[in-house]
Amino acid sequence: MAMIPDLERRWKQFDELGEAEVRKRLAAGIYGEPNLHAAREWLDYKEQQRQLDADADRRSSSADERRIARSAKNAAWIAAIAAIIAAIFAIIAFVFR
């Protein structure tokens, strides 16, 4: 995002202060008009970034869950095939004893 140098300087200051301090200063009415708008935009930006990060985490988590479910399904198929083979051997052993 290309910013005007003054706005970029303000955002760097906000980064140094952190969200909690910027919110506290906003609530206390410390910021004048230019800083007021910049602080609100910065906080909105931070919230959007947090939501994007959360969405990415959810997508990653869903992919992991699908991979685990696929592995469990494959293990179940292997167990079922092994049980069928064991049953066949048991029948053969019973017939030819």
The parent domain of residue 43 ranges over 5-70
Q: How many domains, in total, are found in the chain?
A: 1
pLDDT one-digit tens code per residue, 27-80: 999 988 888 999 999 999 999 998 888 888 777 777 778 888 888 888 899 999
Residue 48 covered by a domain: yes
Residue 62 covered by a domain: yes
Q: What is the DSSP string of 34-90?
A: HHHHHHHHHHHHHHHHHHHHHHHHHHHHHHHHHHHHHHHHHHHHHHHHHHHHHHHHH
Overall pTM > 0.75: no
pLDDT at 25: 93
In angstroms, the CA 14 to CA 39 distance is: 7
Residue 91 covered by a domain: no
Residue 28 covered by a domain: yes
